[in-house]
Structure formats: structure tokens, C-alpha cells
Structure 1
Amino acid sequence: MITYIVVVDDEPDVEEMFKQQFRRDLRSGRFVMEFALSAAAALDKVKEIPDPSLILILSDINMPGMSGLEMLPKVKAERPNVPVIMITAYGDEITRKKAADLGAAGLLPKPIDFNALREKIDERLERAA
């Protein structure tokens, strides 16, 4: 089974950064990363990926149009069993609580600790296996 991770961020360089950090995993086919530059595009991608292939969604909070926090309840309604980890440069307690209240599985501060993220991805892959 192919497993997917969707990364949502309006900054185009984020895709290259993730591809670089996870290049071995991506090359080996351990998982596939899909990228969306907006929350609306992410919702479309989430609908396209078949169950149970989608194992994780990583989303920036601050984006033009629909924010990650506005997207969160919509994506949880579509895929209630898929964890969503929010990524933000503003990891204050209010933001953390709001994300948790809306159903986020966690909040990663920017700059991203890719070792911590890799652990979370490994956990999801083990559960999906």
C-alpha cells in the first residue's frame, strides 16, 4: 500500500525543504508527500487520496485565504481518523490550545525540528502497517 502525507504551506520553498529532509524515504517509496499551497487545495488533495492511504496532514497555520485553523475542522470532518499536525512560527499557548480544541494532533514550531517530525511520521507508519 502506498502511504501519503499531505503538507500544506503557502511558501513554495517548503516543498523543496521537505523533499530534501525526507529524500531517502521518498526515493525508497516509504511514503509519498503531496504538497498544497493553500488550505483549499489541500482539501481537494485529501478528497483524492483513497482510505486508508492518507496517514498524516501537516499544515501551516498562517496562510492567505483560509488559515490552517479554519481548514482543520473541515479536514477532520472529511478524514476524522487522520491526524493533523499544525506548523507555526507563533506557537504561543493560545494558538496551541485553539489547535488542540479544533482537533489537531499536535503543533510543531518553526523552524521545524525534522528529527521530532520524523519520529511522528515513523509512529504513523507503524500504525498504518
Structure 2
Amino acid sequence: MNALILVADDEADMEPLFRQQFRRDIKAGRFDLVFTTSARQALRIIGDAGQHDILLLLSDINMPEMSGLDLLARAKAARPNLPIIMVTAYGDADTRRRALAGGADGLLPKPIDFPALRVEINRCLAQWGAGP
């Protein structure tokens, strides 16, 4: 079973951007990308533990219906060892403090620094046993 990187972001234009950045990794079978446009959709995937081996959750903070910070709390309750990186256009100190206090493994500002994200993905792959 391939490792999945789950991306929860209500901005639909994020999917083609991620697919372009990681096209070689996807083609090589290092991991698959799964996108959701809501926190609720992400929780359904996370809750389906038998079907998905999730390597990493990347979640926007500001989403309608349920915020990324609420998703963070619920995802950590369902899968305490799941690495979660929050992505936000608001990288202020309070947002960072709240995300890290909630169990996030990191916070990436938008626009996303894809080389920094690649480092995090490689770290998760190494811990998962797939290597960089």
C-alpha cells in the first residue's frame, strides 16, 4: 500500500500546484496525494484507518465549516502519531502558537516553500520506512 499525503485546503487551485511540484515522486510511487476541500472530508479519510496509510496531513487553517485547528484536534484524537503540518496565509505568532500547542508538527506559510515541504516529506518517508 502506498503512503498517502492528505491535503485539506478549500482552495481548489492547490491540487494542480502540488501535483506539479511532486509529479516525479508520484510517478515513481514514493507516495500518492489525496486532496479534500473540507476538514470534514479529511476526517472521513482519516477515520477510515484500514483503507489508508497516511504519511502526512497538510491542512489549511482557514476553511469554511470547520477550521484547520479543529481538524488538527480531531485528527490527533483519531491518529495520535499522524504528522500534521498546518498551512496558512496568516503566519503570525499567535496562529503558530495555537497550531503547535494543538499538536501540529509544523506550520508552513503561504505561498508554500516547496523545498522546505519536501524536507518534511522526506523525513516522514524515512520514519515510515520508505526512505528519501
TM category, shorter: over 0.9
Name segments (4+ residues, structure 1) moved above 6 Å.
Answer: none
Q: State the shift of 1:52 in Å.
A: 7.9
Give the aligned partner of residue 27 of structure 1.
Answer: 27
Q: Following superposition of structure 1 onto structure 2, how do residues 13-92 of structure 1 map, counting pairs within 5 Å?
A: 13-50=13-50, 53-92=53-92
Structure 1 residues 47-88: Cα deviation after superposition (integer angstroms, max 9, x where no partner): 225388211000000011101011111000011001110000
Give the aligned partner of residue 110 of structure 2.
Answer: 110
What stretches of structure 1 of length at least 5 have no aligned partner? none
TM-score by length of 2: 0.94
Does the 8 Å CA contact 2:46/2:52 hold for their aligned counterparts?
A: no
Q: Distance in 1 between matches of 2:124 and 2:34?
A: 16
Q: Distance in 1 between matches of 2:98 and 2:24?
A: 34
User: How many aligned positions are there?
Assistant: 129
What stretches of structure 2 of length at least 5 have no aligned partner? none
User: RMSD across aligned C-alpha pairs, in angstroms?
Assistant: 1.3
Q: Distance in 2 between matches of 1:10 and 1:50?
A: 26
Q: Distance in 2 between matches of 1:99 and 1:111?
A: 18
Structure 1 residues 80-115: Cα deviation after superposition (integer angstroms, max 9, x where no partner): 001110000000000000001111000000000000
Distance 1:93 1:121, change over 3 A: same
Does the 8 Å CA contact 2:45/2:52 hold for their aligned counterparts?
A: no
1:11 matched to 2:14: no
Distance 1:88 1:51, change over 3 A: same
Q: State the shift of 1:2 in Å.
A: 1.2
Of the structure 1 ranges 75-84 and 44-53, higher mean CA displacement relative to structure 2 is found in 44-53
TM-score by length of 1: 0.96
Distance 1:45 1:60, change over 3 A: same
